[in-house]
Structure 1
Amino acid sequence: MPTGSSIRFADPTRWFSGALESRLFTVSKAGSNKFYAWDAHLPVGNHPHNYYHVNQGGMHSVFGHSNHSNLGGAQLVQAKQLRYLKIGGRVFLVVGVLVDTYQLTSAAADSVEQGNARPLVAQTVRTTGSWAMAWAGAKAGVLIGGALGVETGPGMVLTAIGGGIVGGFAGYLGADWIADFIYE
């Protein structure tokens, strides 16, 4: 990656634009309009391209792809894997929110039944701590995984994702372990 650049797997500014997020990842150069992204969507407007393609501005010399060029070979396989991971991540996010809502409601009922706030406090610490530590662990895991895969080029994306998954689980389980000491 170019010096001073960053990589994003999601762009919150695009979430509420009225269309689904189609970017699989984006590499951008800080302080400039230069970017390189893998995208997955049908052609829009007068730019014909394949479903999986490159969007870029000002980074042709770095990555060797022109705007709207097709992804092929190993890059196509990785792009499909990233798309499935993003969809799976969204599904797990919704399931996680539903499960945590149920657990907090059950803990509140237990607290009322027992006349003791401990079950609700423990579950609140478990839930908020687990989400926060999973986020922090995923961030650290992406950095470590990306660093371990930096020599493989596009493979770095997959090692970064793997590191994020491992770090997220470690953070979640760590906060869960701490919450167990509150209510034992």
Structure 2
Amino acid sequence: MAFKTWTVGEVLTSADLNRYAVQQAFVIKAADKSIASNTVLQDDDHLFLALAANTRYLIESMIRYNGLSGPVDFKVGWSAPAGATFDWVCDGLDPNVTGPTGGVSRNRLTLADTASAATISADAFILARGVLTTAAVAGNLQFRWAQDSSNSNALVVRAGSLLQATRLTP
């Protein structure tokens, strides 16, 4: 949708604000959360957004995490309202990477899929993004995560991680 150019004297209506001003929602993670010895995806306490029914969104996230290098790795996924579709990419360090630089995974994923990213004994980022379309049911888009391989060493999703939805349809 193109940005609106307002003219002098033009009256704003609530429809104008809904269409042109209220197009984005975001949440920033308020506190670190850690898990250990757990490979079952769990809902993140902070990274979720309410979505309207019958609407298309551009979803962007920047997830900061930390875990020991090696067998732990980071598994991520999403839940969304019934009937929603989500085509996304993870843009996280390939699980075979052992340092702070290396290849990323850019496989096309759907709502039913999970992705894995390497842990490197330092903070790293996943830049997950895609296009989500809701059906007739409104509800939350929820970021979910776990260890990819169970390990007693904690995996941490850091405060400051971000989830953003930009509405693409009026």
> How would you bin the TM-score normalised by the shorter chain?
under 0.3
The structure whose Rg is larger is: 1
Whose helix fraction is larger, Structure 1's or Structure 2's?
1
Flag the structure with more relative contact order, 1 or 2, with Cα contacts below 8 A and sequence separation at least 6: 2
TM-score, length of structure 2 as denominator length: 0.22
